[in-house]
Structure 1
Amino acid sequence: MDFAKSLVRAIDRLSEFVGRVVSWLTTLLVLVVVYDVFTRYFLKTTIVAIQEFEWHLFSLIFLLAASYTLKHDKHVRVDVFYARFSKQQQAWVNLLGGIFFLIPFALMVIFASQNFVINSFVIGETSPDPGGLPARYLLKAAIPIGFFLLLLQAFSLAVKSALSIAGVDMGGKETTHA
């Protein structure tokens, strides 16, 4: 039991760290977009690399912050029923959803993206656009990395949900459910 709690805390710390680091990319993205808008509308010029950098940053934010978002339960969900469930019912939904949907999906994306990323590295993929960014393979490498982080956080959520169902508080106290 203590090992499970320690593992969950370590995964949560990793997600928290990555999320806080990645959050700074949103500030950088805003600055890049402001620069792009300024040059496009006031200077009547545009730079392909700047436009690509915008979607590269957005991709990194989306992929790498997914685990942080899951940790804080801020992902998009239709709460028509879930919001009305008791804490134990929510724990069951999180446990079963994680085991049967999120974990298999994350594993599928990790394995399915391997050849995609490897091929990109092998050919040294760059932007097909003149003036575009080099090293597109680095961006593609964020796909399995982001889903691996999501997989870890899904495992953490499943363990926390199982502990909650069993009446074990992550603080080490036994709890009872109504």
Structure 2
Amino acid sequence: MSALLRLSRLIDALNEFVGRHLAWLVLAMVLISATNAVARKVFAASSNAFLEIQWYLFAAVFLLAAGYTLLRQEHVRIDVVLGRFTRRTQVVVESVCILLFLMPFGFLVIDLVLPLVVKAYETQEMSSNAGGLIRWPVYALVPAGFSLLMLQGISELIKRIAFLRGQAPDPGRRGKDKSDEEELAAFLREQAEGAKK
């Protein structure tokens, strides 16, 4: 089990690295969008390439951060029924759902999309818009994102099995006692107190 937990930590580190660095793509999206808006309004000039790169960057953030979101336990959950069970039962249900839903769905998506990525690469498929971008890189984000998500699913499954065996802490804990809003409020209070001194 210790080797599997080491593998889980490696997968967690990979998705943590990817998730933290994707924030820069959000900044790039905002800057490109603002530049494009200014160019269109002030200079009456626009580019389909600028519009498409925004879409590509959004797709990259959305798809590649899915594993990071699962790692941080920030994905959408509906705990109306599950919340009534013991934590141990919840972990069993989560493990079964990873095995029966997440993994098969991920394999299916990758299996269906990979031939499209290869075909787009081989034909160098371009956007139909004038001045548009090449398509295969954005197509490739789908299998890449689902691969990261499935890897994180493996990590989460390992952590849940270790928890059930009493060899690891509860994997469902977010690792912090305060919500994001509470952390922001505490930070702002500290800043205000620091400014008074």
Superposition TM-score, scaled by structure 2 size:
0.80
Q: Which runs of 4+ in 1 moved over 4 A?
A: none
SS in 1 for 2:5: helix
Q: Within 2, Cα distance between the matches of 1:36 and 1:45?
A: 8
Identify unmatched segments of 5+ residues in structure 2: 171-197
Identify unmatched segments of 5+ residues in structure 1: 172-178
Query: Kindly tell me: are residues 30 and 81 of structure 1, through their superposed partners in 2, closer, same or farther at Cα, counting changes over 3 Å?
Result: farther
Which of 54-63 and 74-83 deviates more? Answer: 74-83
Note the alpha carbon deviations across 1:8-65, whole angstroms, 9 max, x for none.
0011011111111222111111111222232334444321111101100000111111
Q: Which amino acid aligns with 1:138?
A: P
Which of 38-47 and 20-29 deviates more? Answer: 38-47
* 1:117–1:140 Cα contact (<8 Å) kept: yes
Q: Within 1, Cα distance between the matches of 2:78 and 2:71?
A: 17
Deviation at 1:126, TM superposition (A): 1.4
Q: Which amino acid aligns with 2:15?
A: S
Match of 1:30 in 2: 30
Query: Kindly tell me: are residues 115 and 44 of structure 1, through their superposed partners in 2, closer, same or farther at Cα, counting changes over 3 Å?
Result: same
Percent pairwise identity: 36
Match of 1:79 in 2: 79
Aligned 1:82-121 pairs, distance under 5 A:
82-121=82-121
What root-mean-square deviation, in Å, do the aligned CA atoms of Structure 1 and Structure 2 show?
1.8
**Max Rg structure:** 2
* 1:110–1:144 Cα contact (<8 Å) kept: yes
SS in 2 for 1:79: coil
Q: Which amino acid aligns with 2:154?
A: F
Q: Within 1, Cα distance between the matches of 2:77 and 2:128?
A: 36
Which of 35-44 and 148-157 deviates more? Answer: 35-44
